Amino acid sequence: MDKKDILKEFGRNLKAERNRAGLSQEQLAEKIGLSYGQVIGTIERGETNTSLSVIVSIMNALDLDFEKLFDRKLIK
């Protein structure tokens, strides 16, 4: 699995969990202290390699463990 695939996998799972929580991209961005929801969209589409601090904020906001966002067994 290359970097692009990793980002896409993470993004797909993030979108599913955000939707499950009933939050828009804008609402999640606000909840984690980002200035606008487009940032969440770029993460969900796998277009950006976000920082660890943003990932931790997302996990806290959605009350998730990392395994819900990414299955590291997929990395070979």
Give 27-36 pLDDT, tens digit per residue: 999 999 988 8
Q: Is residue 33 part of a domain?
A: yes
Question: Is pLDDT above 70 for 50?
Answer: yes
Nearest to 7 by CA among 43, 40, 31, 35: 43
Range of the domain at 19: 3-64
Q: Helical H runs in 1-76?
A: 3-20, 25-32, 38-44, 52-62, 66-69
Q: Looking at residue 73, what is its pLDDT? A: 63
Q: Is residue 72 part of a domain?
A: no
Enter the DSSP assignment of 51.
Answer: -
Percent of the chain with pLDDT over 70: 93
Torsion of CA 16, 60, 66, 53, to 10 degrees: 110
Q: Which residues contact 49 (CB under 8 A, 6 or more apart)?
A: 3, 7
Whole-prediction pTM:
0.88
What's the number of domains the chain is made of? 1
Q: Is residue 74 part of a domain?
A: no
CATH number for position 12: 1.10.260.40
At 58, list the tokens: 């997302």
